[in-house]
């Protein structure tokens, strides 16, 4: 998986080193067009604030590519603080006129977003096509 920007690559490596229960991978998607941040693990109190900062730091690269996709297929647990991080990211993407998609939501995280009333605010997609 290629990371489009070396500074972003370093930030992701730093994030992964500091968060043993949540890992982030980065790649580029062709359809829909965008930067993919694929998360695996728990988006909770231990990781949500740093995840939010990392995702916001990726916005210039996401805008250059065409949008931002947060792949949550590997996220088994989403806390209310994780929902808050995603919501703050949604506001930031809208302020920067960047399309944000949540991809491959698993049942648990989807239920949390739905129960808290946030699911309707996000554009949820089933998947994406990776750029060659």
Q: Give residue-wise pLDDT tens across range 52-80.
A: 999 999 999 999 999 999 999 999 999 99
User: Which DSSP category does 119 fall into?
Assistant: G
How far is the C-alpha of 41 from the C-alpha of 48, rounded, in Å?
12
User: Which DSSP category does 61 fall into?
Assistant: H
Helices (H) and strands (E) in the chain, counts: 5, 6
Q: Give residue-wise pLDDT tens across range 96-109.
A: 999 999 999 999 99
The angle, 0 to 180 degrees and rounded to 10, between the axes of the packed helices 6-18 and 48-57 is 180
For 95, phi and psi rounded to 5 degrees? Answer: -60, -30
Sketch the domain layout of the chain as residue ranges.
6-130
Ramachandran region of residue 59, left (φ > 0), alpha (ψ -120 to 50) or beta? alpha
**Confidence band for 1, pLDDT divided at 50, 70 and 90:** very low
Q: Looking at the domain covering 6-130, what would its CATH class be? A: alpha beta
């Amino acid at each position: 998986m290629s990371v489009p920007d070396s500074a972003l690559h370093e930030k992701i490596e730093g994030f992964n080193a500091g968060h043993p229960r949540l890992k982030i991978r980065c790649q580029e998607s062709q359809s829909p067009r965008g930067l993919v941040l694929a998360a695996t693990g728990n988006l909770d109190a231990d990781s949500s604030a740093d995840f939010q900062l990392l995702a916001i730091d990726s916005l210039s690269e996401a805008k250059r590519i065409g949008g931002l996709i947060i792949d949550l297929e590997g996220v088994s647990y989403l806390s209310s603080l994780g929902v808050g991080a995603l919501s703050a990211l949604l506001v930031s993407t809208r302020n920067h006129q960047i399309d944000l998609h949540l991809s491959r939501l698993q049942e648990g995280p989807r239920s949390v977003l739905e129960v808290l009333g946030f699911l309707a605010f996000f554009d949820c997609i089933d998947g994406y096509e990776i750029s060659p």
